[in-house]
Amino acid sequence: MYGSVASIKIPQLVALLQSTHPNASIKVIATTHALHFFDRATVPVPVLTEDDEWSAWTKRSDPVLHIDLRNWADIMVVAPLDANTLAKLAGGLCDNLLTCILPCFMAPAMNTHMWNHPFTSKHLALVNQTSYKVIPPISKLLACGDLGMGAMAEIGTIVEHITEVMKKE
């Protein structure tokens, strides 16, 4: 998660994932900006941040959190995916804990003007050439008051996509 206002839905997403997949082990990776929109105490699973990445490693033989997470995860979901993180992932940038782990699903969430920006289309075209799966945003009244495309897909829709992959494994 990055600094999207849709980060307020993270506790709901985790709750639905836990009830739909009670045996799944879930971890949340959040940026400092994402934590502005929800209280990590409301999320009943580990919420990891960049600080955890750096505090876990003090010497050469210590574990590297982003590598451990990549090895641990069967499925990754970046929800919400803001325009900034989309650009980073499309460009192969790995400058924080979130972008150092290969995501499987992306659920874009951004203002309509950001969604319609030519660079967003280019970045989506790039990620669609990889193993990333984009769960398209929806059109509705956005948190900023605009009406249009760019709202994160409904939590249930995201969980349905995850469930389909989990059924295959």
Distance, in Å, from the CA atom of 145 to the CA atom of 4, rounded to the nearest integer, reads: 15
The pLDDT value recorded for residue 99 is 76
Q: Which of 66, 100, 123, 161 is an active site residue?
A: 66
- Domain range list for the chain: 5-168
Distance, in Å, from the CA atom of 36 to the CA atom of 7, rounded to the nearest integer, reads: 9
Q: Which of 94, 123, 144, 161 is an active site residue?
A: 144
**Angle ∠(160,134,1) on CA atoms, nearest 5:** 85
**Mean pLDDT, the chain, whole residue set:** 91
Please check the confidence at residue 109 and state whether its pLDDT lies above 50.
yes
The pLDDT value recorded for residue 101 is 72
Residue whose token pair is 């699903």: 105
Q: Quick check: is 66 catalytic?
A: yes
Residues above pLDDT 90, as percent of the chain: 66
User: What CATH number has the domain spanning 5-168?
Assistant: 3.40.50.1950
Of 23, 3, 145, residue with least CA distance to 78 = 3
Enter the pTM of the model: 0.84
Q: Over the stretch 45-93, which tens digit does the pLDDT of each residue have?
A: 999 999 998 898 888 888 889 889 988 998 899 999 999 889 988 988 8
pLDDT band at 96 (very low <50, low <70, confident <90, very high): confident
Residue 23's CB is within 10 A of a number of other CB atoms, namely: 6
Please check the confidence at residue 111 and state whether its pLDDT lies above 70.
yes
Q: What is the mean pLDDT of residues 120-139?
A: 94
Distance, in Å, from the CA atom of 97 to the CA atom of 107, rounded to the nearest integer, reads: 18
pLDDT band at 1 (very low <50, low <70, confident <90, very high): very low
Q: Quick check: is 144 catalytic?
A: yes
